[in-house]
Homo-oligomer: A and B are copies of this chain.
Amino acid sequence: MATEMHRARRAPTPTIKTLAEMTGYSIATISKALRESPVVAPATRDIIYKAAREVGYQANARGMALRTGKSFQAAVLMPVTAARDYEWDGVEYTQTLSGISQALEGTDYRMSVHVIRDAADGADAARRIVDQGLADGLIFSGILAEDPRIDLLVAEHFPFVSMGRCRKELDYAHVDIDNEWAAHAATARLVAGGHRRIALVNPERRLSYALDRIDGFVRAFREAGLDAPMDLIAEGDLSTHFGRQTVIDFLQRDDAPTAFVCINESTTLGVLSGLGSLGRQVGVDVDVIAYDDINVSAYFTPPITTFYQPIEVLGRTLGQFLLRRMEGEDPKALRQVFRPTLIARQPDNLGGRLTQN
């Protein structure tokens, strides 16, 4: 019997027709029974279930997709830049995907990942996904101040959730960090500690959240009655190399920064590496505040003060919102902006070496 069961598994993949031959019921009845339609009698349903179990029947995803018009896929656009030499780039994406995947567990949806290299690539990918029926919904990040993907998907009424917000007033589902607040909070701590020359290690201004962080940086200075050091805003590709190079460039200046506000773990690691190679000590010569998507700053030497929001939680929320959006829920109800938690591991005043003002 066990051998026979095994042999049945090696037969051609069972279809609904196989079950029809076994049970004598029509393919329509079998389909309804397996989908638990109330129009099928319980006794009939049990016979069909038994036959299905016996041959290990599983509905063919391709047939379902064509008939239902649903691919049962949630597509994620994963940005991978052409950053230098294969280094730490987008590492938080594993946790983002993990979070999204958790939200999809137990549903019919699977996750597909489309790697994109730049903004044009992302718009092409979104277009293709919509036109070819490659997925039923879409998640993407790296939101531009004006993002063609958002424009397209809103126009097409195609379900999506963005990780971040563009700068247009549009109704769409999104999950975001309060980047303005985070940059403001980090900068204000350092200002209160006495720092005046603070460097902001920031993404490119095309990105909406880069602008948010600049806003927060400037606001912290303004609230202290000071001018923000705009010359100390570095824009780059978020790589470890960019972080290191920023330190090396900025510390060569006469009016060098005494503190750094970093955008992510990657640039933080680069900043620490640059400081190490210049013989500068964190907390003695320079203060550093990080931002953590994954809990890494705790492991740097010395452990670094950070604003931390587990990105897996964001991923889970993205997945949950997308499921709801695909059910037809109003995008206006599908928005959440998270504030990261401060984890203070260092004082903000070079260990008292700065005079408070």
For the complex, give the distance between the alpha carbons of A10 and B155 in Å: 9
For the complex, give the distance between the alpha carbons of A326 and B50 in Å: 34
8 Å CB interface, A264-307 against B: 269-270, 272-273, 276, 294-296, 298-303
> Shortest Cβ distance from A49 into chain B, in angstroms?
17
For the complex, give the distance between the alpha carbons of A89 and B295 in Å: 10
Task: Tell me, yes or no, whether A310 is within 8 Å of chain B by CB.
Answer: yes
Q: Chain B residues near A62 (CB, 8 Å)?
A: 62, 65-66, 69, 71, 133
Q: Across the interface, name the chain B residue whose C-beta is closest to A71.
A: B62
Q: Scan A119-134; emit 1 where CB is below 8 A from any B CB, else 0.
A: 0000000001001111
Q: Chain B residues near A269 (CB, 8 Å)?
A: 296, 299
Q: Across the interface, name the chain B residue whose C-beta is closest to A91.
A: B91
Q: Identify which of A131, A269, A299, A301 gathers the most chain B CB atoms within 10 Å of its CB.
A: A299
Q: Chain B residues near A89 (CB, 8 Å)?
A: 94-95, 294
Report whether over half of chain A's contact residues are helix, strand or loop; otherwise say mixed.
Answer: mixed
Q: Which residue in B80, B90, B110, B131 is a CB contact (below 8 Å) of A134?
A: B110
For the complex, give the distance between the alpha carbons of A9 and B352 in Å: 64
For the complex, give the distance between the alpha carbons of A240 and B62 in Å: 42
Q: Chain B residues near A112 (CB, 8 Å)?
A: 73, 110-113
8 Å CB interface, A73-126 against B: 73, 76, 78, 80, 85-95, 97-98, 101-102, 110-115
Task: Tell me, yes or no, whether A39 is within 8 Å of chain B by CB.
Answer: no
- Given A85-B310, A110-B114, A240-B296; 11 other pairs, CB 8 A cutoff: A10-B155, A59-B132, A62-B62, A76-B113, A80-B94, A85-B295, A86-B294, A86-B312, A88-B296, A88-B299, A110-B112
